[in-house]
Amino acid sequence: MGTDAFPTGVLGRFEGPNTVGSGTRFWAALAVTVVALLAYPSVVGPFAAGQLTRYLVSAFLALSLAFVWGYAGILSFGQNAFYGLSGYAFAVVVGNLASPLGTTVGVGVAILFGALSALVLGYFMFYGGVRDVYVTITTLVVTIVLNTYGKTASQVFVGSVNLGGDTGVGIGEITLGAGPATYTLVQPATYYVIVAVLLATYLGLRALVNSDFGRVMVAIREDEDRAEMLGYDVKFRKLVVFTIGGGIAGLGGVTYMAWGYSITPEVVFSAAAAAYPVVWVSVGGRKTLSGPIVAAVAIEWLRTTASVQFPEFAKIGVGVLMIASILLLPDGVVPGLRGASRYFDRHGLADGSRLAIDRARRAVGRRVGGPIAVDESSEVVQE
Amino acid sequence: MVNGLNLAFQYLQGFSVLVLAAVGLAIIFGIMGVINLAHGEFIMVGAYATVFGYHDLGLPLVASMALAVGVTAAFGMVVERLLIKRTYGRLFDSMVVTLGLSLVLSQGMLVLRGTSEPSVPTPFGTISYGAFSQSVYRVALALAAVAVLVGVYWLFTRTEYGIRARATIQDEGTARALGVRTERVYSTTFAIGSALAGLAGALLAPIVSVTPTMGGTYLVKSFVVVVVGGPSVVLGTGLSGGLLGAVDAVVTNVYGQTAGSIVLLVVTVVVIRFFQDGVTGFTDRVRDRLAREGT
């Protein structure tokens, strides 16, 4: 990151070594993107805006996983579970307190419920000394068990709301406010609200990961034991990170309900649903925040388009994308592009391409039939 | 008394399903440190191969099961060569890759063969007592599970491959320097683990409904067993299969299937909260303490 400008001024709070993009060019690009997003519904009409709303909802999940996995090294297959739990919680609160005030309270309750679920699960995992891969497994198992439970819970009532089994829960129109001052959220207003909340979440996370807290997160990701030796309470920090991640996923769950008014176990708790955020984040680049957002929107758009054309093959496509992104672009597309642009800046286009091809040829040769090192240390020397 | 017998049969089946599903995963995780999230789908492939052999090829049941083991072993070898090998030492990446593989496999099978398969007959008939009758196959399944554990124990303690494999777990660098081709150990291990998953699928095919999405259930079961079992493959899988099988049988009998899997999860979380290395981590500590007191 040596070439990044030293962060200064008000915007400096949002810049630092832990995020991609800084300086006037980046902020100008972000402003253009936001303006384009705000203009989108008037250009393409409400239907397309509704579609984009759903892709933007996915971006919350992507951000939550990027934060937890990319910055603190906790690979969780449970983010969509928190997302789903919040969605259900919102439906339950709204169904029981059928009033604008109830709905407004429901937003807060649902987000807190996502964070609280993450807190409880995280407490048992981190304070139980559950280590890296076991965390991943536990989160996946929790998701799958929630799926099994959700699908059979067809006659389970929470207050007056039936959880509905396979068919899930639905809610009516979302009317916020209290007393006489109420507002009914419909498209395209929902779209604008979600864009605004997403932008705020993104900027908030940028500030957080570039703060001292974020630096400690990265330290934990890079070497947990060393961070602990330096005096940081790693368990506590991980729990805080995981809880915040659950809260962001919960926020996503509420926006999902605001978009679609209904939720089913298949959509939020299935193994495929658990896999999607991991795909977005690993394709977009897990050590960035903008990459996962872009990847979530792009991949969800692709997947939805593909599942209209070839309904059976869309899931296979996601699986293949998952495998290919890890094998070919382990750091993701956004860091890959940045690396490429720096590389060509340094070497020029013609020389750079020749060097890159040579290097790729050597790398492939080594992988297929090259010499095999005796142990890890000599591999380090080779590089 | 009669209900007690029912419970006993339920227990035998619960135990055998857990052990059979988990042992392949335990071997691959124990030796290679790779978590195969497509393990459930490997079991699914084994079950499909059995159905395919029995109905489409018209083979006898035993031959279909052998075919299933062969098919999954070969499939595992290909997967290891193409995918797993490239993610050695990158644990999270191997999990993402294998989860991707599981999506491809379950959805691919759905496209190839549709949502359900014809059933395979349950061999050995039934025995009756009072108003109930139970399939003898449940007993056979439990015997098979024990036989698999004994076989794995023999494989790792009495064969050339077992010694190389244990040397590789203990210190990969030294094993390599002493001439063990650890890459070959890894690919053999992955093939053996896959073959055991295939065997699980083959043995379970007569008693479960074979569907493309059956993998998820077994993934949960096998992870739970491996996590609770801890580092020792044979003892851990046997003990935690025995323990969790009992929990599963009682809860499933009283409250139904879903409650069974939820309670399994809760038990697992509690166990890792108090015994971080699972049951065998605990038994190892007890053994060490006894040994210290003895000397």
Q: Which residue of A has its CA nearest to B81?
A: A368
Higher-confidence residue: A203 or B114?
Answer: A203
Any idea which residue has 């644990």 for tokens?
A: B91
Q: Which residues of B touch A368 (CB under 8 A)?
A: none
Average pLDDT over residues B47-61: 88
A63-101 tens-digit pLDDT: 999 999 989 988 898 999 999 999 999 988 888 887 888
Asked whether residue B37 is assigned to any structural domain, the reply reads yes
Whether residue B142 lies inside any domain: the answer is: yes
- Positions of chain A with pLDDT lower than 50, given as ranges: 1-6, 368-383
CB contact under 8 A, A322 and B93: no
Q: Using CA atoms, how far apart are residues B253 and B3, in angstroms rounded to an integer? A: 10
- Interface contact B110-A312, CB threshold 8 A: yes
Could you tell me the pTM of the whole model? 0.79
3-state SS of chain A: helix, strand, coil percent to 5? 75, 5, 20
B217 touches chain A (CB under 8 A): yes
pLDDT at A7: 52
* Residue A340 CB partners (closer than 8 Å, separation 6+): none
Return the structure tokens found at A113.
């419920």
User: pLDDT at position A9, please?
Assistant: 63
- DSSP lists the bridge partners of residue A185 as A174
Tokens of A172: 């009516």
Name the amino acid, one letter, at A214.
Answer: G
Would the CB atoms of B265 and A141 count as touching at under 8 Å?
yes
Which of A41, A83, A141 has its CA nearest to residue A264? A83
**Are B217 and A148 within 8 A, CB to CB?**
yes
| Residue A75 at interface with chain B, using a CB cutoff of 8 Å | yes
| pLDDT of B68 | 92
- Omega before A188 within 30 of 0, i.e. cis: yes
Nearest CA in chain B to A124: B273
Give how far B165 is from chain A: nearest CA, Å: 17
What is the distance, to the nearest Å, from the Cα of residue A378 to the centroid of all Cα atoms in its chain?
37
SS3 letters across A128-184: CCCCHHHHHHHHHHHHHHHHHHHHHCCCCEECCEECCHHHCEECCCEEEEECCEEEE
Tell me the β-bridge partners of B128. B133
Mean pLDDT over each residue of chain A, to the nearest integer? 81
Cβ of residue B114 closer than 8 Å to a chain A Cβ: no
Task: Write phi, then psi, for A77 (nearest 5 degrees).
Answer: -95, 15
Calculate how close chain B gets to A234, using CA atoms only, in Å.
17
Q: Is residue B266 part of a domain?
A: no
Residue B1 confidence (pLDDT): 44
Please report residues of B whose CB lies closer than 8 A to that of A275. 99-100, 103
- Name the minimum distance, in Å, from the CA of B101 to any CA of chain A: 6
Closest chain A C-alpha to B224 CA, distance in angstroms: 8
User: Within the 339-378 window of chain A, which residues sit less than 8 Å (CB to CB) from chain B?
Assistant: 367, 372, 374-376
Please say whether the beta carbons of B178 and A375 come within 8 A.
no
Residue of chain B with shortest Cα separation from A140:
B220
DSSP A23-38: HHHHHHHHHHHHHHHH
Burial class (CB in 10 A: 0-12, 13-18, 19+), B62: exposed
| Predicted local confidence at residue B71, as pLDDT | 93
Domain assignment present for B253 = no
Kindly report the nearest CA distance between residue B20 and chain A, in angstroms. Answer: 18
Task: Give domain status of residue B258, yes or no.
Answer: no
Flag whether B225 is in a domain.
no
pLDDT one-digit tens code per residue, B247-281: 888 887 777 777 777 788 778 777 777 776 777 77
- In eight-state DSSP terms, residue A2 is T
Chain A from 193 to 252: CB within 8 A of any B CB:
none
Residue B269 lies in a domain: no
CA A10, A14, A17, A18: dihedral to nearest 10 degrees? 170
Give the per-residue pLDDT at A365.
58
Query: Can you give the pLDDT at residue B201?
Result: 92
Nearest C-alpha neighbor of B83 from the set A278, A326, A271: A326
Of A145, A316, A330, the CB nearest to B107: A316
Q: Structural domain of residue B181, as residue ranges? A: 2-213
Give the Cα separation of A69 and A76 in Å (integer): 7
Closest residue on chain B to A148 (Cα): B258
**What is the per-residue pLDDT for A378?**
38
Range B179-208 average pLDDT: 89
For residue B87, what is the nearest residue in chain A, using CA coordinates?
A327
List the end-to-end C-alpha distance of chain B, in Å, as a whole number. 47
Q: Under an 8 A CB cutoff, do B272 and A128 touch?
A: yes
The first and second tokens of residue B108, run together, are 């691919």
What's the CA gap between A275 and B47, in Å, rounded?
24
Q: What's the number of domains chain B is made of? A: 1
The minimum CA-CA distance between B261 and chain A, rounded to whole Å, is 7
Give percent of chain A above pLDDT 90. Answer: 21
Give chain B as a DSSP string: -HHHHHHHHHHHHHHHHHHHHHHHHHHHHHHH----TTHHHHHHHHHHHHHIIIIIS---HHHHHHHHHHHHHHHHHHHHHHTGGGGTT-HHHHHHHHHHHHHHHHHHHHHHH-S--PPPPPTT-EEEETTEEEETHHHHHHHHHHHHHHHHHHHHHHSHHHHHHHHHHH-HHHHHHTT--HHHHHHHHHHHHHHHHHHHHHHHTTTS---TTTHHHHHHHHHHHHHHH-S-HHHHHHHHHHHHHHHHHHHHHHH-HHHHHHHHHHHHHHHHHH-TTHHHHHHHHHHHHHHHHH-
pLDDT at B229 over 70: yes
Please report the pLDDT score of residue A129 as a whole number. Answer: 74
Q: Per the CB < 8 Å rule, is B272 touching A134?
A: yes
Instruction: With CA atoms as reference, report the closest residue to B23 among B158, B196, B278, B239.
Output: B196
Provide, as residue numbers in chain B, all residues whose Cβ is less than 8 Å from the Cβ of A278: 96, 99
Quick check: B276 and A129 CB within 8 A? yes
Tell me if B230 is assigned to some domain: no
Find chain A residues with C-beta within 8 A of B219's C-beta. 140, 144, 271
- The pLDDT value recorded for residue A242 is 94
| pLDDT tens column, A204-221 | 998 898 888 888 999 998
Q: Hey, where are the domains in chain A?
A: 11-268
pLDDT of residue A58: 92
Minimal Cα–Cα distance from B255 to chain A, Å? 13
